[in-house]
Amino acid sequence: MSKRWVIDTSPLILLHKIKCLNLLPELCEELVVPKAVADELLSYEEDRSEWNAFLTSSAKTRTLQNSIQISPDIAGWGLGKGESEVIAYAIAAAGYEAVLDDLEARKCATILNLPLRGTVGIILLAKKKNIIPAAKPLIEALKSAGLRFNNDWIRKTLNLVGED
């Protein structure tokens, strides 16, 4: 998998809620935040200063200043602007992995043969690299923070990193 990621809003918000945004610069060489994603993050009044700090704090994080042109192949999916820009960027810039949680966006990325990971995948990678001691508590925190997933899938996923 790629070490260069382009990320959507929901993985950022979820990682923020479980206090794990710090995992991103540890796990990837470059993190691209499309303009639509940055605009959405900065629209949250109560967290604006935190998001502004995050978007400018790491040399590995690059926030795009211009919107990305969305092709009809992507627009036809009816995704959000952030999700569409993540997918469009991953297509245009070879070697980037799309980081998306939305099921329809993930289906679109899969059909377009894009490398893909979600928030749970970030947690699992952190566990595999021994950056975190255990994935299960963070995945449970993601569930409490609002991430929806199938419990059987999570059990199988945790088995991949030696947890149950």
Q: Which CATH number fits the domain that encloses residue 88?
A: 3.40.50.1010
3-state class (DSSP) for residue 74: helix
Judged against a pLDDT cut of 70, whether residue 2 lies above it is answered with no
Rounded Cα distance, 62 and 35, in Å: 10
Of 47 and 4, the structure prediction assigns the larger pLDDT to 4
Judged against a pLDDT cut of 70, whether residue 1 lies above it is answered with no
Domain that holds residue 106: 4-160
For the chain, percent helix, then strand, then coil, each to nearest 5? Answer: 55, 10, 35
pLDDT band at 85 (very low <50, low <70, confident <90, very high): very high
- Please provide residue 115's backbone torsions phi and psi, each rounded to the nearest 5 degrees: -60, 140
Question: Which pair of tokens denotes residue 119?
Answer: 């928030």
Q: How many domains does the chain have?
A: 1
